[in-house]
A and B are shown apart, each in its own frame.
Chain A
Amino acid sequence: MELTRSEITESAVQQKTMGQRFGEVVLGRTVRLVLLLVFAIGVLLPIFYMGTTSLKEPIEIRETGAILPSRDLFIENWFRAYRNVPLYRYLFNSTVTAVVSTAIALLIAVPVTYAIVRFQVGGKILPAWILGTYVMPPIVVSLPIFAMLRTVKLTDTLVGLILVHSMANLPVAVWLLDSFIRAIPRELEEAAWVDGYSRFDTLRRVVVPLIRSGLVATGIICLILSWNEFLFALILTYSDASHTFPIGISRYEGEHGLQFGEMAAGALTGIIPIYIVVLLFQRYLVEGLTHGGVKG
């Protein structure tokens, strides 16, 4: 904790001096404001457009792509989105899958990361193997995973999807937690050992409380990754019993092609909760991404 605080003050000092000296000269404030504006519009316009489309009548959508609706707002899309596709069910499935798979991933990832960082378990091979499973495209293991789950009758069940999501999130969790655990001063743990704590107790009572913000960051990132996951959900689920939200929004194809209005409404109901979580926990998310991200 002390470490991060001193890092923060240090970077604040840097920002001041560098901002004054170098930044101001190369790019004036106006240029930066223009950049900010372009970036903000670029990021927000597609999301905003989705919002306005969800309020346009299907006939209007078929005729024009203007950003703002020209007729009365058409709220009906939001009801149809739920009537034509069992989206409630999908959102429920996604929530259960994301929460349980994240819990499992963290439970497995914390001890192994600690063992790797502190005791070099598995030498160089174990960390490389874990990272390797993240770098490989999931499609290359999808056939055997499908076959294994089918053998134990877990295809098209939430349990099966939860298992697969936990394993898919495991390398991400290890990778994110690594730098948080690395930042703990070794002396604290050694003091705990001297006090007679076993290694498991040290992990539970000393290490875990110290990486709380890392756990929050990792947990939220895993939650969102599971919520967003498409490929395994596509392959392993084939009925409403286990379809998740991403499958749901790909299902608004009607007789007249894709029903953009309903799709936009349906997609937004699944995106808005994520945005709320992202905004509430943004400090943790940025910390998680940058802590793990820039190290070599």
Chain B
Amino acid sequence: MKAFVERHSPQLMALPTFIVLIFFSLIPFVYVISLSLTDSTLARPFNDFIWFSNYKRAFTDEIFGASVINTLLFAFVVTSVQTLLGFVLALAFRGERKLGGVLRTLALLPLFTPPVAVAMIWRLIYDPTSGLINHYLLQWGVLDRAVGFLGSPTFAMPAIMIADIWQWTPFCFILSLAALQSLPTEPYEAAAVDGASAWQVFRRLTLPMITPSIIVIFLFRFLIALKVFDLVFILTYGGPGSVTQVVSFYIYKIGFTQFKSGYAATLSILVLILISIIATFMTVGRDLILKKQSS
């Protein structure tokens, strides 16, 4: 027995995780695939086997199409802004131990605030009568009438993006700062000896050395941003119309408020496929960029 444990201890160490993966990943996956081929409701799962009817329906479902585009747009915009802002801030404070430390402490606060609370804070800020933005814009004469930002087709999406940028820019800042501070010093010393200008140092040293880290930060953040749910749930509930409809929220609505679990399962599978494709493309793209850079 003892010998068996010792020989197979690496496998035994992985066993609990394996069980978790079977119950929370493999079985759910099989379940969702089979459910997606049926006309199920939450009360009556696996009701009628209908082959690919749900899939046909999904491809003509305009709201689902809109939610896919909204999700991609949301993720792309917030990730770009956050990565850029975070990097610029990190670049400015990389040499400042004290100020950089203060900034990093501040940065932890939004990052760890419950997303529901973040959404509530911003719902208050955007409110037409009780909110900060309308109050001061009216007072300063920028607006002559209160604007319901979250109910407006133009402003609703940017409003959600701003809340997300508030929460996640700190993440990109903290990681960029750490990446910058772990760069080797020798090239900089050599550049100083050669009398390189600040721009040259940035363009020829910092940028090439930091690019791999920035790409990793961007990819990671992008994939996480695709999961957006809480902000939409609290701020706009997908509206007005389906202007802020995103995939996670749409699946929730179909599955848990309209109880059409068969169709929700179908949408889940499509989202799974879509995200797998995106993740694959992004990692391949990253490897290509890095290869090109090193050659």
Contact = CB atoms under 8 A, between A and B. Distances in A.
Interface of A: 7, 10-27, 31-33, 35-36, 39-40, 42-44, 46-47, 49-50, 53, 61-67, 107-109, 111-112, 114-116, 118-119, 121-122, 126, 129-130, 133, 135-145, 147-148, 164, 166-167, 170, 174, 198-200, 203, 224, 227-228, 230-231, 234-235, 245-246, 249-250, 258, 260, 263-264, 267, 270-271, 274-275, 278-279, 282, 285-286, 289-290, 293-296
Given A53-B124, A112-B17, A115-B13, A290 B114 contact: no
14 contacts: A16-B95, A26-B199, A36-B102, A46-B122, A109-B17, A112-B17, A141-B268, A170-B17, A230-B115, A264-B120, A274-B113, A282-B105, A290-B174, A295-B216
Given A65-B130, A130-B21, A231-B230, A141 B28 contact: yes
Contacts of A279: 105, 108
B23 to A, nearest CB: 7
A64 B272 contact: no
A245 B115 CA distance: 12
B10 A199 contact: yes
Given A115-B10, A199-B13, 16 more contacts: A15-B97, A17-B189, A25-B198, A33-B99, A47-B113, A49-B132, A65-B127, A112-B13, A137-B229, A203-B13, A246-B114, A246-B230, A249-B120, A290-B174, A290-B178, A294-B175
Contact of B16 (A111, A137, A245): A111
A121 B223 contact: no
Given A18-B94, A43-B106, A293-B217, A13 B185 contact: yes
Of B181, B189, B226, B275, most A-chain CB atoms within 10 Å: B181
B220 interface: yes
**B interface: dominant SS:** helix
B115 A228 contact: yes
Contacts of B160: none
B142 to A, nearest CB: 14
Given A21-B188, A260-B130, A32 B96 contact: yes
A228 B110 CA distance: 12
B13 A114 contact: yes
Of B89, B114, B224, B247, most A-chain CB atoms within 10 Å: B114
Of B16, B124, B229, most A-chain CB atoms within 10 Å: B124
Interface residues of B, number: 111
A144 B247 CA distance: 18
Interface stretch (B48-56, B57-65, B250-258): B250-258
Given A49-B132, A137-B227, A18 B185 contact: yes
A221 B9 CA distance: 28
A47 B120 contact: no
B277 interface: no
A61 B227 CA distance: 33
Given A43-B107, A140-B32, A278-B109, A200 B115 contact: no
A250 B28 contact: no
